[in-house]
């Protein structure tokens, strides 16, 4: 127990930025003793294991930390009495504690098997991979009268990030969702699955290889040419990219000694996906007919249960859309430069059988009528619906306030400070409470106001003002987003035009404040990644490109608005031909 406590403290310290972050090779993994190990990029012989065993937490008596309350609120009538028996409003609340916990003996066995491999006699396992962020979906399934399986997402949320720590997951179900789950757990073999999509960060090995994209052939691919899909689920994007690489629309050309093909293809998958697709923001609604189908949910669950298919370069549960940038001809992109990348790990925890075992126990399952509000108090939890790393990079803190106006005229005011330590579980979850003070209407009692004041490291504050809500949780959606803008292109095109360097002047608006960044890229440095902090409501940048040519000439274009994550710097204006351009006096 002491060793595990020390390990948890070390993980908290690393997540909070006290210790250096892990640097692992995403394509340097092996499967040993039932664990997936990733090699350290900086320490030869050091490995980190993937915490890939999510499960329901249990209490000291070994019982699952799970509860399902189906509740009924008093129905309101219009006073006419013409409807007789009516349907009351209500819903359900699912609360559970989830944990990632690879047993210490499993780690010890894996380390012993690792050292038994030739060339790894002195290697060691340093600890678990630290996930950067993650989401979960609770998927329920029932058998329809015709025998088919109907799957449905009951809720989504932020997943726990730290191995061994318990994370509270709460879902507010609609009446239909509550009935669907109740029916699921009445089945002989209930199908109730927590599907986690976790993101880890690391580096890919650079290769002497090129990626050749045939744009004309790509736009004639059946899946793209049809134009039926507006939004793509990640698992469909993964299948499309695999098809493009298989049929030769996108080719990988290896130079010199051959590289491990599997690792090389993973780098190619990552690059191709970023070129073709952009992720849809979480709050953007899907058009009719674009929701995840039962078939798609089934494929996601199958992928999560498969060890070989669970690690991908994109989030298989997220939504994507094709970029609007259309090109023609062929583009050659190098895979030589090593840069930080993400790997998404799809996991699943089958909690149906465990939950069904306690189906008749009122400590776990209860149906209640909330007609007596006198002694109740309301808990409102505050969560951060964003990336912890981006929070620490952009913000000093967030001040969160809650105001409740009661039926007797009194006012409850709560206030708290949200800092990076809160996001790692260092001080426990942030929860506000308010009592019932003359609030006779149970629905109106749920109403309150909240306010967030975001303190940015640039030296200014952003106040959301008072917002009305009745949800049991406040999801703080950051008013900003961090974009990794890639300055990319075909190196041979630039060298053929005698371009010595390209200067990109990037200007953008951050919540009413103008930000500016000047970046110089030489052909040998392609691609170059530039992080920019943007307003979520206006995630555009204005880019001015200047090509510095041999002989002191300079070509300039822009500024132009960019929404894409990629700015191609090899599209030189016609005036870039030899003998043209304006003199370059170094004024960049």
The answer, yes or no, to whether residue 304 has pLDDT greater than 60, is no
> In this structure, are residues 134 and 50 in contact, taking their beta carbons and an 8 Å threshold?
no
Question: Is residue 291 domain-shared with residue 316, that is, in the same domain?
Answer: yes
Question: Is residue 212 domain-shared with residue 299, that is, in the same domain?
Answer: yes
Share of the chain above pLDDT 70, in %: 76
The answer, yes or no, to whether residue 574 has pLDDT greater than 90, is no
Taking alpha carbons only, the member of 522, 490, 498 closest to residue 580 is 498
Q: Is residue 406 part of a domain?
A: yes
* Measured CA angle at 369 (ends 368, 374), to 5 deg: 115
Share of the chain above pLDDT 90, in %: 17
Question: Is residue 24 domain-shared with residue 155, that is, in the same domain?
Answer: yes
Question: Is residue 110 domain-shared with residue 7, that is, in the same domain?
Answer: yes
* Pick from 196-200, 374-378, 453-457, 513-517: least confident: 374-378
Helix (H) or strand (E) holding 268: helix 261-276
Which of the four pLDDT bands, split at 50, 70 and 90, describes residue 60? confident
Average pLDDT, integer, range 20-46:
86
Q: What are the tens digits of pLDDT across the range 542-553?
A: 999 999 998 888
**Secondary structure of 176-211 as H, E, C letters:** HHHHHHHHHCCCCCCEEEEEEEEEEEEECCCCCEEE
Q: Is residue 588 part of a domain?
A: no
pLDDT at 6: 42
Question: Is residue 262 domain-shared with residue 330, that is, in the same domain?
Answer: yes
* Measured CA angle at 529 (ends 524, 534), to 5 deg: 155
How many angstroms separate the CA atoms of 547 and 275, rounded?
23
Q: Is residue 148 part of a domain?
A: yes
CATH number (domain holding residue 538): 2.60.40
The answer, yes or no, to whether residue 146 has pLDDT greater than 80, is no
Taking alpha carbons only, the member of 24, 48, 22, 27 closest to residue 36 is 48
What is the pTM for the complete model shown? 0.55
Q: Is residue 130 part of a domain?
A: yes
* Pick from 173-182, 252-261, 415-424, 521-530: least confident: 252-261
Question: Is residue 498 domain-shared with residue 435, that is, in the same domain?
Answer: no
| Cross-strand bridge partners of residue 405 | 411
The answer, yes or no, to whether residue 263 has pLDDT greater than 70, is no
Return the DSSP state at 292: P
Q: Parallel, antiparallel, or unpaired for β 448-456 and 461-463?
A: antiparallel
Question: Is residue 284 domain-shared with residue 357, that is, in the same domain?
Answer: no
How many angstroms separate the CA atoms of 208 and 337, rounded?
9
Question: Is residue 198 domain-shared with residue 209, that is, in the same domain?
Answer: no
Q: Is residue 68 part of a domain?
A: yes
Question: Is residue 70 domain-shared with residue 199, that is, in the same domain?
Answer: yes
pLDDT at 4: 46
Q: What are the tens digits of pLDDT across the range 338-354?
A: 567 788 888 888 888 88
pLDDT at 518: 93
Q: Is residue 499 part of a domain?
A: yes
pLDDT at 19: 39
How many angstroms separate the CA atoms of 333 and 547, rounded?
19
- In our burial notation (b when 16+ CB lie closer than 10 A, e otherwise), range 303-319 reads bbeeeeebbbbbbbbbb
Write down the residue that tokens 């350290």 correspond to.
40
Q: What are the tens digits of pLDDT across the range 80-128?
A: 443 444 455 778 888 887 777 889 999 999 999 999 999 999 999 999 9
Question: Is residue 398 domain-shared with residue 535, that is, in the same domain?
Answer: no
pLDDT at 94: 85
Question: Is residue 236 domain-shared with residue 272, that is, in the same domain?
Answer: yes
pLDDT at 428: 61
Question: Is residue 163 domain-shared with residue 281, that is, in the same domain?
Answer: no
From 312, 337, 362, give the residue that closes a domain: 337
Q: What are the tens digits of pLDDT across the range 354-365?
A: 877 888 888 888
The answer, yes or no, to whether residue 74 has pLDDT greater than 80, is no
pLDDT at 466: 95
Q: What are the tens digits of pLDDT across the range 231-242?
A: 677 777 778 888
Average pLDDT, the chain: 78
The answer, yes or no, to whether residue 59 has pLDDT greater than 90, is no
CB under 8 Å to 504, separation ≥6 — which residues? 487, 518, 519, 520, 521, 530, 543, 544, 545, 546, 567, 569
Q: What are phi and psi of 221, to 5 degrees?
A: -65, 140
> In this structure, are residues 469 and 518 in contact, taking their beta carbons and an 8 Å threshold?
no
Q: Is the peptide bond before 559 cis (omega within 30 degrees of 0)?
A: yes
Average pLDDT, integer, range 173-185:
80
Token pair listed for 294: 């039962």
For residue 508, what are the domain limits?
A: 481-583
The answer, yes or no, to whether residue 556 has pLDDT greater than 80, is yes
Q: Is residue 83 part of a domain?
A: no
Overall domain count for the chain: 4
How many Å separate Cα 4 from the centre of its chain? Answer: 28
Q: Is residue 179 part of a domain?
A: yes
pLDDT at 72: 79
Token pair listed for 320: 């994507």
């Amino acid at each position: 127990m002491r060793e595990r406590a020390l390990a948890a403290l070390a993980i908290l310290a690393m997540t909070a930025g006290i210790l250096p972050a892990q640097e692992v090779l995403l394509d340097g993994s092996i499967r040993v003793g039932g664990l997936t190990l990733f090699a350290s990029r900086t320490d030869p012989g050091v490995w980190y294991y993937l915490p890939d065993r999510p499960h329901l937490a249990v209490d000291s008596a070994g019982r699952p930390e799970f509860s399902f309350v189906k509740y009924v609120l008093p129905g309101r009538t219009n006073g006419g009495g013409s409807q007789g028996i009516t349907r009351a409003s209500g819903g359900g609340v699912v609360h559970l504690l989830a944990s990632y916990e690879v047993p210490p003996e499993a780690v010890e066995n894996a380390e012993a098997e690792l050292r038994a491999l030739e060339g790894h006699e002195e290697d060691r396992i340093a600890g678990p991979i630290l996930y950067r962020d993650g989401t979960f979906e609770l998927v329920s399934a029932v058998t329809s009268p015709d025998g088919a399986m109907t799957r449905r997402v009951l809720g989504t949320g932020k997943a726990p990030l730290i191995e061994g720590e318990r994370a509270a997951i709460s879902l507010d179900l609609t009446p239909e969702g509550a009935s669907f789950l109740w029916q699921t757990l009445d089945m002989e073999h209930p199908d109730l699955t927590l599907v986690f999509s976790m993101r880890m960060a690391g580096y890919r090995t650079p290769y002497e290889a090129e990626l050749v994209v045939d744009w004309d052939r790509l736009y004639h691919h059946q899946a793209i040419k049809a134009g039926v899909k507006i939004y793509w689920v990640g698992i469909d994007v993964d299948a499309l990219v695999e098809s493009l690489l298989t049929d030769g629309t996108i080719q990988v050309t290896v130079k010199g000694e051959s590289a491990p093909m599997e690792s090389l293809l993973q780098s190619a998958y990552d690059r191709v996906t970023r070129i073709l697709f952009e992720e849809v923001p979480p709050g953007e609604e899907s058009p009719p007919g674009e929701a995840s189908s039962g078939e798609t949910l089934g494929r996601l669950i199958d992928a999560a249960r498969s060890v070989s298919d669970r690690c991908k370069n994109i989030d298989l549960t997220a939504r994507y859309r094709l970029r609007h940038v259309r090109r023609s001809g062929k583009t050659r992109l190098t895979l030589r430069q090593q840069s930080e990348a993400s790997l998404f790990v799809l996991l699943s925890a089958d909690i149906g059988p465990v939950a069904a075992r306690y189906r008749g126990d009122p400590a776990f399952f209860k149906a209640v009528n909330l007609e007596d509000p006198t002694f109740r108090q309301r808990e409102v939890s505050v969560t951060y619906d964003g990336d912890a790393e981006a929070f620490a990079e952009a913000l000093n803190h967030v001040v969160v306030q809650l105001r409740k106006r009661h039926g007797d005229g009194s006012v409850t005011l709560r206030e708290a400070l949200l800092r990076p330590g809160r996001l790692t579980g260092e001080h426990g979850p942030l929860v506000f409470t308010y009592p019932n003070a003359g609030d006779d209407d149970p629905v109106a009692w749920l109403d309150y106001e909240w306010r967030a004041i975001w303190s940015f490291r640039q030296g200014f504050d952003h106040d959301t003002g008072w917002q009305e809500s009745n949800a049991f949780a406040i999801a703080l959606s950051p008013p900003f987003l961090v974009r990794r803008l890639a300055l990319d292109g075909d190196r041979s095109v630039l060298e053929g035009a005698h371009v010595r360097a390209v200067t990109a002047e990037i200007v953008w608006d951050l919540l009413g404040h103008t930000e500016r960044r000047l970046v110089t890229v030489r052909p040998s440095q392609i691609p170059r990644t530039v992080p920019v902090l943007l307003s979520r409501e206006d995630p555009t940048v204005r880019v001015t490109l200047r090509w510095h040519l041999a002989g002191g000439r300079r070509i300039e274009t822009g500024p132009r608005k960019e929404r894409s994550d990629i700015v191609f710097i090899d599209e030189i204006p016609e005036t870039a031909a030899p003998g043209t351009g304006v003199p370059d006096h170094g004024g960049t």
